[in-house]
Amino acid sequence: MGVALVVVLALLASSKRFWRLRRTRVGAVLTTGGWLMLAVGLLLGPHGMALVKLDEWAVIDPLVLICLGWVGVMVGLGADRKLPSMIPAVVKKVVLWDVSASVLIIGAAALWAIAQNTSGAGAGGSGGAAGISGVDAVLPLAILLGVCSVSWSAEGRSLTSTGSDAEGRVIQVLRAGSGIGGMLALAVYVFALGGFVVQGDQLINSPLALSLELIVSMLMAVVLGWLGLFLMGLAGRGNGELLVVLLGLVTLVAGAAATMGDSPLFVSLLVGAVLVNGPQKEKGLTRLKRVILEGEQPVAKILMLAAGLLLDPRVCWQKAPLAWTLIAAILIARFVVKLIGARWILRRGMADTATNNTVLFGLMRQNPLAIAIACGYAISPLATYPAAPLTGGEVLMILMMVGLISELSPFIGRACSKPPNLKCDLNYGLQGGDA
Amino acid sequence: MKVIVSLILVTALAWLTRWVSVDVLNLNTAPQIGAVMSVGLLMLGGWLSGKIFERIQLPGITGYLAFGILVGPFVLGIVSAEQILPSKDGSVAPLGFISDLAIALIALTAGGEIHLSWLKGRTKKVLAILAMHVLIVMACIATFVFLTHGAVHFLADINTLTIAVVALLAGVVMVASSPAVTIAMISDYKADGPLSQMTLVVTVFKDLVLIVLFATVMAVSKGLLDAEASLSGGFLIGVAFELLGSLAIGAVLGLLMALYVEKVGTHLTFFVVGSCLMIALLGEHEIHIPGLDHGFHLEPLLTALAAGMFMQNVWPEKSEPLFHSIEATSLPVYCLFFALEAARIDLRVLSSLWMFSLALVTARTCATWFSVYLGMKLAGLRDAWTQKLWLGMISQAGVSLALVGLIAEGFAETTWALPMKETLVGAIFISQVLGPIGFRYALLSSGEGRKPDRD
């Protein structure tokens, strides 16, 4: 019954009445970032009121997977081939810096934090001759945490409310950077983690697995993408048939990717990209986009609720040294990486007012896609093999803490900015404030 | 040709993925993860097969069924047994809930199709057809099994009383027909008229009667065969609670659903799926009543049926957008449900006992024709469409399979229960394939349905 409750809550949270919460800054952060749903999921889950029982996990995992497939196709549909030419050079440079620095610097910080708090075989040591052990065994987790730190939230309402031209430019940079950064993060995730597979209770790093996964995933994405174009034409005008094509593609792609140990988000993103760049840009694609966008809110809410169910808060006290060192390391490394990105934007003269300076604190905030990537990881064998230093639920908890703390940065930034942003505060006061 | 190539591509990709992950990389993928790929495969592949079958003048449903058998564990094995069949420890298969969800959606649609205003003045006619059909088919099949038991190896050496019980149980199971197939066909062929309405009403109400009849026959049979198990009044009270409870909860859900449409009114497709999921999961929970030895389950079919009827007949205008969404959601669910049901069919069983199964289907078909003919006479119906009503009663699916499962479970210690189950499953499978072909002919030749033209 808990699963049905999750779906009903997600639907209610997708309603227009709930959407009105976005009118306030805190409301915008909580709803757009998905934190509210995450908290509700945590409350419903095994570590809260236990309304969703363990025997319902068999339904939760597929639900997460289908949502990831849906989100992936939706993001992929935005990857039009004309996109690179439409993006300003500064955004490309900032995003490239952000992706490489986040994966390397934040990943390294995470690796250091894990290595400091796990010892010997505990550091992912899988025992056995064939499996990898020691620091190598915690690499997948460190890479994941680095990848999840790539990019930032595209939500702009909590950063500014004046809507002036200068502000608009920075917000656009944030939005464009957030979207492209998310796509690149997924690509890095697949290439970096594709070789790590769990066989029996051992973690191995196999170039064969990486090659096969990439070949089959690419083949699947290209074939199903092209097939999707043909099937949309075959579906005719009926909504039922379009739904068969969409749901069939999403579940087949996400399921196949997960079966291969690949990222369901990435492979379905590729399918979306093939669909949008295919030769037949016909009415079917417009209708498909409409249906997929209509589902955006409920799917995102279900995904966040499911992430909340998967969360394991016990890591904060049962593995306190590891958890808090990791959170601190990620936050510090994140601050450094994003600060450099913000300075770069400032140097290009894109932000020349005090308001824009505070808007740049938005770079600190975590991209909601990070939780989706972590959800995919949490239900994959990489998160469940016996010697993994953190379970999927624990990783999700750490990312939630990082995300929540980093959401505070624009508020802190605004409070600290001199002179006080009267225009912004006035608007804020008129809207009813945080309380 | 393009459709066939697409079907081959979809199947080949799924097969390749499974082969690489299981046989080459030896990955530890949980069954529920693999099940998601199976959902996509069954949905897309079933739909494409349906398209191909429609082009050769066969119902789309037969295409969904054929594809399910092809990719199921007993032929290509892309959809594995652990994904669709309950495990030995009794735990539910990852795709197990899909059937309940689909049945709930189908019943919700059926409820929405039943207009009480249509039934006014026709109640006696419906009851006459229903009564004749149930009694004659049950009597004919029971007699057939009783008379031919000597030729069937697993019934040859058991006593007369047991044979009588087995015959009676087989009779009850063979009475059931499939509301799911009826609804899917009516929806697929956009059929509207007295034939489709009467078939739907009789099929749906027959399910209500069958649940009571089956519970009574099971209780009597247990009392007759097992000296220690007396005929339990509590069991029958439990059944009454199951029926009335399901109808009452269904009405409440119908009220809540109508309220959602009025007050929220967004994302109705998701809402429909969520509601059906809720109804399906409600059916999984055992409810205990103080004073009764054992608990009871709500029947998802009845609960959803009541919800649909309640909305259609109490708030038709408020519920209209919801029924439009149900219509859009139906096709993916039908493709998935029928392909999944077919994937579960164990072809080894059919190959070993097919002759007796076929004989049962033949007897059932003749009895169905005769019973409906007599029922029509009794009801005073002589229109042209009445000649074809019996064709809508041939299909069998989920309910019949559930009843067979309960028989096998209830008499697990006997020597006849398992082979009898396999024989009946074989017969249900044959009816499942032949039924839609007959009903398609009935709908098209009566002029009530038109061939799917989705362009």
Nearest CA in chain B to A301: B270
Alpha carbons A294 and A243: distance in angstroms, whole number: 12
CA A8 to chain B, closest CA, distance in angstroms equals 6
Q: What is the pLDDT of residues B114-130, one digit of tens each?
A: 777 877 778 888 888 99
Residues of chain A with pLDDT below 50 are 120-129, 163-166, 419-435
CA B172 to chain A, closest CA, distance in angstroms equals 32
Write the DSSP string, B264-321.
Answer: T---HHHHHHHHHHHHHHHHHSEE--TT-SS-EE--HHHHHHHHHHHHHHH-HHHHHH
Q: What pLDDT shows up at residue A434?
A: 37
- What are the start-end ranges of the H helices in B56-122? 60-71, 81-84, 96-113, 116-119
Chain-chain contact of B94 with A62 (C-beta, under 8 angstroms): yes
Q: What pLDDT shows up at residue A121?
A: 41
B99 touches chain A (CB under 8 A): no
Query: Which residue has tokens 């989920």?
Result: B398
Q: What is the pLDDT of residues B230-286, one digit of tens each?
A: 555 666 677 777 778 888 888 898 888 888 888 877 778 888 888 888 888 777 777
Residues of chain A found within 8 Å of residue B322, distances taken between Cβ atoms: none
Residues of chain B found within 8 Å of residue A11, distances taken between Cβ atoms: 260, 264, 266-267, 270-271, 274
Residues of chain A found within 8 Å of residue B329, distances taken between Cβ atoms: 240, 243
* Cα of A116 vs its chain's centroid, Å: 27
Residue B375, phi then psi, degrees to nearest 5: -60, -40
Chain-chain contact of B267 with A295 (C-beta, under 8 angstroms): yes
Nearest CA in chain B to A243: B332
- Cβ-nearest to A248 among B17, B40, B91: B40
Residues linked to residue A202 through DSSP beta bridges, in sequence order? A199
Residues of chain B found within 8 Å of residue A248, distances taken between Cβ atoms: 40, 43-44, 47, 332
ipTM summary value: 0.81
Cα dihedral value B445, B446, B448, B451, nearest 10? 0
Which of B17, B334, B340 best probes binding to A when mutated, by most A CB atoms within 10 angstroms?
A: B17
Write the DSSP string, A111-152.
Answer: HHHHHHH--GGGTT---SSSS--THHHHHHHHHHHHHHTSS-
Nearest CA in chain A to B27: A199
Q: What is the pLDDT of residues B57-72, one digit of tens each?
A: 788 888 888 899 899 8
- Cβ-nearest to A238 among B20, B26, B454: B454
Interface of B with A in 22-61 (CB under 8 A): 24-30, 32-41, 43-44, 47, 51
Chain-chain contact of A11 with B270 (C-beta, under 8 angstroms): yes
The residue that leads in pLDDT, B398 or A187, is A187
B123 touches chain A (CB under 8 A): no
Alpha carbons B299 and B280: distance in angstroms, whole number: 9
- Cβ-nearest to A256 among B37, B282, B331: B37
| Average pLDDT of the segment spanning B18-23 | 84
On the question of pLDDT at B228 being above 70, the answer is no
Query: Which residue has tokens 């005769």?
Result: B370
Chain-chain contact of A7 with B274 (C-beta, under 8 angstroms): yes
B1 touches chain A (CB under 8 A): no
Alpha carbons B273 and B82: distance in angstroms, whole number: 24
Q: What pLDDT shows up at residue A130?
A: 52
Q: What is the pLDDT of residues A139-196, one digit of tens each?
A: 888 999 999 988 888 777 666 655 444 456 677 777 788 888 888 888 888 888 877 8
Chain-chain contact of A259 with B18 (C-beta, under 8 angstroms): yes
Q: What angle do CA A225, A230, A234 make, to 5 degrees?
A: 135
CA B84 to chain A, closest CA, distance in angstroms equals 12
Tell whether omega for the bond before A264 is within 30 degrees of 0, i.e. cis: no
Nearest CA in chain B to A206: B25
Chain-chain contact of A249 with B40 (C-beta, under 8 angstroms): yes
- Cβ-nearest to A15 among B26, B43, B264: B264
Residues contacting residue B252 through CB under 8 Å, at least 6 positions apart? none
What is the three-class DSSP state of A85?
helix
Chain-chain contact of B277 with A379 (C-beta, under 8 angstroms): no
Distances (CA, A) of A423 to A164, A270, A314, B85, B249: 11, 43, 43, 64, 55
- Identify the band that residue B368 occupies on the pLDDT scale cut at 50, 70 and 90: very high
Q: What pLDDT shows up at residue B293?
A: 63
On the question of pLDDT at B158 being above 60, the answer is yes
Q: What is the pLDDT of residues B291-341, one digit of tens each?
A: 666 667 777 878 888 888 888 888 888 888 888 888 777 888 888 888 888
Residues of chain A found within 8 Å of residue B267, distances taken between Cβ atoms: 11, 14, 294-295, 297-298
Nearest CA in chain A to B38: A252
Chain-chain contact of A248 with B285 (C-beta, under 8 angstroms): no
Interface of B with A in 401-430 (CB under 8 A): none
Q: What pLDDT shows up at residue A2?
A: 64
- Identify the band that residue B171 occupies on the pLDDT scale cut at 50, 70 and 90: very high
Chain-chain contact of A240 with B327 (C-beta, under 8 angstroms): yes
Chain-chain contact of B264 with A58 (C-beta, under 8 angstroms): no
Interface of B with A in 366-395 (CB under 8 A): none
Residues of chain A found within 8 Å of residue B38, distances taken between Cβ atoms: 255
* Cα of B143 vs its chain's centroid, Å: 25
B287 touches chain A (CB under 8 A): no
On the question of pLDDT at B349 being above 90, the answer is no
